[in-house]
Amino acid sequence: MLTAMTTHLHTSTLLGLLKLEKYEEIQEQISCLQALLRRTEDLKLTDTEYGYLKLIAFAATDSANTCNVRHLVNLQSQACKELHQQTVDSRYTDLLLLLPTLRSFSKQIIVELFFSGLIGNLQIENVLPFILKMDVLQIFGEVTSGGDMAETQS
């Protein structure tokens, strides 16, 4: 998918539809993302390790919108402890060293690459609360069986 994006962006630049500076900025982000993917593939992350790393990263307390910092700090601390219990010391270090790479990504470019066709000009911060509050089972139940799923849950 990233290769297809790169090809599309390159073609858009050649046709004059995208400025060279913007192309270079986006291409740098794609390269960083590919490097992160290679590192995670080399480490052969387990689902559990991936889950803990995701929790640690998404419970970051440096966001200005964070309302319960103490809870997030405790959550991160617990996730770090449990991840450490699951791994040997050298692997634990390698896993945690993946996280600083996430800071190199530009939020705007990542949103543009992966969500612009889905959410248009909306800010991702405005869309995420609705996504997180969605009742996925209800949505898929309506799509797949017209309510049969709700009956099986009762």
CA–CA distance, 90 with 9 (Å, rounded to integer): 39
Q: What is the pLDDT of residue 149?
A: 42
CA–CA distance, 91 with 98 (Å, rounded to integer): 11
Query: Tell me, what DSSP letter sits at residue 87?
Result: S
**pLDDT tens, position by position, 87-117:** 998 999 999 999 988 888 887 887 777 766 5
Q: What is the pLDDT of residue 135?
A: 59
CB atoms within 10 A of CB 18: 16
Mean pLDDT of all residues in the chain? 77
Q: What is the pLDDT of residue 153?
A: 43
| Predicted structure pTM score | 0.62
CA–CA distance, 153 with 146 (Å, rounded to integer): 14
Which residues are CB-contacts of 55 (< 8 A; sequence separation ≥ 6)?
A: 75, 76, 79
What is the pLDDT averaged over residues 45-74? 80
Nearest to 88 by CA among 41, 46, 57: 46
What is the pLDDT averaged over residues 28-46? 91
CA–CA distance, 132 with 58 (Å, rounded to integer): 13
Q: What is the pLDDT of residue 143?
A: 47
CA–CA distance, 49 with 51 (Å, rounded to integer): 5
145's torsion region: left (phi>0), alpha (psi -120 to 50) or beta? alpha
